[in-house]
A and B are shown apart, each in its own frame.
Chain A
Amino acid sequence: MNIAFYLSGLVAVLATLGVVTNTNPVHALLYLIVSLISVALVFFALGAPFAGALEVIVYAGAIMVLFVFVVMMLNLGHEGAAQERLWLRPRVWLGPAVLSAVLLVTLIATLWSGDDGRMIAGQTLTAKAVGSLLFGPWLLIVELAAMLLLAALVTASHVGRVPGPTPLESGDTQPRQHTQPRKEGA
């Protein structure tokens, strides 16, 4: 399992570098998908198959589809690539890179001195264990997240509300579309 962990970790790091340095947005998104899948493999290697599967389903399978969708619609073309290349000059990325390197050194030093973080072993966590943990001690946080999502859903449906009949829906024969404009007039 150690080899699987290190290999997929290496792929994750390289793919994430590819996301940052690539000038074509769709290719960068492809690297991001590869990165997410290799993070899922890291979870598998650590003995958390449920978290790994969810990583692929939720992040690679659902959220990234939205990203790809938006980028495809924008159709950036060559001007976008040129703009990206302009942003990739050393003057722009040197400062953040140095700061991140300091963080990396701190992380490595912490891992080096302590002996808890160095272990890549552990027992397999099943879906049942994750579920009883989420709905046991962490129930309050799950409920809070549910409230947040509900609020986001209500907001989205309010913002995306269509006031009258749109050209797409004008063919429908449901009475709701026809009564709505009258209500607004009154």
Chain B
Amino acid sequence: MSWLSASLIASLLAMLQAGVILLGVVLLGAVLTIVERRLLGLWQDRYGPNRVGTFGSLQLIADMIKIFFKEDWIPPFADRALFVLAPAIAMASLLLSFMIIPITPGWGVADFNIGLLFFLAMAGINVYAVLFGGWSSGNKYALLGAMRASAQTLSYEVFMGLSLMGVVAMAGTFNMREIVNAQQGLWFVVPQFFGFATFLIAGIAVTHRHPFDQPEAEQELADGYHIEYSSMKFGMFFIGEYVGMALISALIVTLFFGGWHGPWLPPIVWFALKTGALLVLFILLRASLPRPRYDRVMSFGWKFCLPLTLINLLMTGALILLADPL
């Protein structure tokens, strides 16, 4: 067994770990669709899906069967190549971003020294899913949705990057593991509260979740950019949204809430608890907030969030220099 060297075993284990994380994230995204509907039902005084299995526990399987066996239809007026490509971008770019998230000291896929920038790059690529999906459908409602998405993107992407730079300045690195380790004494949510608040807003906008779901506003646009999609192509957009939710929650936990750090319980439990709490916050936001007009979203992004993040970054830099002059 000479070929079974130590480095081979290590790389096989790393691959297995990456596979487990990938499967776990996709499954989490699927389960979240049902959890969200149950929680929305609870908060809005109705039942939600509770017919399939005990307390609706098998609803997920029923939905999966339905979505897999629907007719996979590509409209004749659509641009075929881009129409097929768009859902793949939607899912892949968000799934790839999970690569940089350190779940526990031992678990995590990649340990980049540009970790945080990799997420920003993938968030930038993710926009094309909506743009291409909306344009290639050859449908006016879809195009309107895609147009809103790009207008919205341009207004939040700038301050999303800036809101994270305070954390980077305090930790002195883009590496996610080192950022988590820098929070051993104090979680960054305390000194970087404005960074946290603005990143939460930008994160919701990245996932096109309520209240930033103008691209797919049901009432006006009849579902926006994915109106022409059916079957699993729609499913990719749908699950991709929940994967995005999980990604943003995990990122916020890693960057602002100390990652796996916490007393008594093992690291994995802390990470899961914090991420779960943020996921519930996402759903609660959807249950409770109305949707603003998209020109107001844009002016809020440019006139309020951008100056706020700039001031936050300036103050952070000044305080770091005050505490530790070069």
A binds B: yes
The segment from B114-122, B183-191, B210-218 that touches chain A is B114-122
- In the complex, whether A66 has a CB less than 8 A from a CB of chain B is yes
Alpha-carbon distance between A127 and B128 when the two chains are bound, in angstroms: 27
Cβ–Cβ contact B150 & A65, under 8 A: yes
A60–B126 Cα distance when bound, in Å, is 11
Of A52, A60, A72, most buried by chain B (CB within 10 Å of CB) is A72
What residue in chain B is nearest A33 (Cβ atoms)?
A: B128
A165 CB to nearest chain B CB (Å) = 14
Rounded to whole Å, the gap between the CB of B79 and the closest CB of chain A is: 7
23 A-B pairs in the complex with CB atoms less than 8 angstroms apart: A24-B79, A27-B81, A37-B125, A49-B112, A49-B113, A53-B121, A54-B117, A56-B121, A56-B124, A57-B117, A57-B120, A57-B124, A61-B123, A61-B124, A65-B124, A66-B154, A69-B131, A69-B150, A69-B151, A72-B134, A72-B147, A124-B113, A127-B114
Q: Does A50 have its Cβ within 8 Å of any Cβ on chain B?
A: yes
Query: Does A62 sit within 8 A of B, measured CB to CB?
Result: yes
The chain A residue with its CB closest to the CB of B143 is: A72
A145 to B154 alpha-carbon distance, docked (Å): 21
Pick the contact of A65: B81, B117, B154 (CB < 8 A): B154
B117 touches A60 (CB 8 A): no
B residues in contact with A40, CB < 8 Å: 121
Interface size on B, residues (CB 8 A): 33
Partner of A62, one of B118, B134, B147, B154: B154
> Could you tell me which A residues sit within 8 Å of B by CB distance?
24, 26-27, 30, 33, 37, 40, 49-50, 52-54, 56-57, 60-62, 65-66, 68-69, 72-73, 124, 126-127, 168
In the complex, besides A37-B125, A57-B121, A127-B113, 8 extra interface pairs with C-beta distance below 8 angstroms are A26-B79, A53-B114, A53-B118, A53-B121, A61-B124, A65-B131, A72-B135, A127-B117
**5 closest pairs, A vs B, by CB?**
A61-B124, A53-B117, A56-B121, A69-B150, A49-B114
| Bound-state Cα–Cα, A169 to B291, Å | 17
- A122 to chain B minimum Cβ distance, whole angstroms, is 16
Cα(A95)–Cα(B207), bound, Å: 48
Given A61-B157, A65-B131: A56 touches B125 (CB 8 Å cut-off): yes
Contact A50 B124 (CB under 8 A): no
Closest Cβ neighbor of A126 among chain B residues: B113
Q: How far is the CA of A54 from the CA of B124 in the complex (A)?
A: 11
Contacts of A168 in B (CB 8 A): 295
